[in-house]
Amino acid sequence: MSFFATAEHERERLQYFASPEGRDDLYQYNQKERRTVLEVLEDFSSVQMPFEWLVQLVPPLKRRAFSISSSHLAHPNQVHLTVDVVSWTTPYKRKKKGLCSSWLAALDPQDVTYIPCWIHKGGLPTPPPSLPLVLVGPGTGCAPFRGFVEERALQSETNSVAPIIFFFGCRNEDIDFLYRDFWLSHSQNNGVLSEAKGGGFYVAFSRDQPQKVYVQHKMREQSQRIWNLLAQGAAIYIAGSSTKMPADVTSAFEDIVSKENEVSREDAARWIRSLEKYGRFHVEAWS
């Protein structure tokens, strides 16, 4: 960019950013602020870069990966996605929006829009109807489990199915309780998430009270119900943010096994690891 800048002060600034001395300032200006190529070009308006240079230097947009949140059995000609519309404020108080999620949110459902997509086999295998499930999916981590519950509800109409316990978490009940009516409908009237059928649906609203409550707190409250299913051969599925959540949830499972099976914490941890070895412990996490 400095090579093509016609304004001297812009050329000097760009050369400084490219120097070892300017590395920290470049990080604050660019990476910390998550500036796009377009924003940088707008800031340095005297840069007249030839188009053939631009297309060689600018990386292509990354493909976005989303978990399918619908059952093929329930919606054979559709794919449902659960997408969080990304927005944040930068350190310099600039409002930023996610590129893909904001574009998807702005589409008109009445319009026909063609979107290139690829469907890959996910990291969470579809469970057979006879397998009891313990699901943990805070936030958009609930996406794949919506498909699981849809499928099992359909299967239950003609065959007996194993129970599902699902732990969902979000910040506020009134703001981000995703698919509220869907979960509640299946947790009542002998639905596949109902306690009457051996399952359960438990929600942690982390910001609706002075003390933060997360899914692992609700799991410990239902310690015996979880252990009963695990003792019957249930599989564990965890999906959601890749920050602390998977480790905290795994730790909660270890506490539950230690308490209910009356074994040491170390033995409980080994038992949980054995579930992974035998295909009964699955994690799908993303940043």
Q: What letter does residue 232 receive in the DSSP assignment?
A: T
Beta bridge partners of 133: 164, 235
Contact 144, 122 (CB under 8 A): yes
Mean of the per-residue pLDDT values of the chain: 95
Sheet containing 281-286: give its strands across: 200-205, 164-170, 133-136, 235-241, 281-286
CATH of domain 133-285: 3.40.50.80
Write down the pLDDT at residue 242. 87
pLDDT of residue 3: 95
CB atoms within 10 A of CB 152: 25
Q: Where in the chain is the domain with CATH 3.40.50.80?
A: 133-285
Quote the CA–CA distance of 174 and 76 in Å, as a whole number: 32
Burial class (CB in 10 A: 0-12, 13-18, 19+), 259: middle
Which residues in the chain land under pLDDT 70?
A: none
Sign of CA dihedral 205, 210, 214, 216: negative
Q: Under a CB-based contact definition with an 8 Å cutoff, are residues 187 and 223 in contact?
A: no
pLDDT score at 287 = 79
Task: Quote the pLDDT of residue 122.
Answer: 82
pLDDT of residue 218: 97
pLDDT at 123: 83
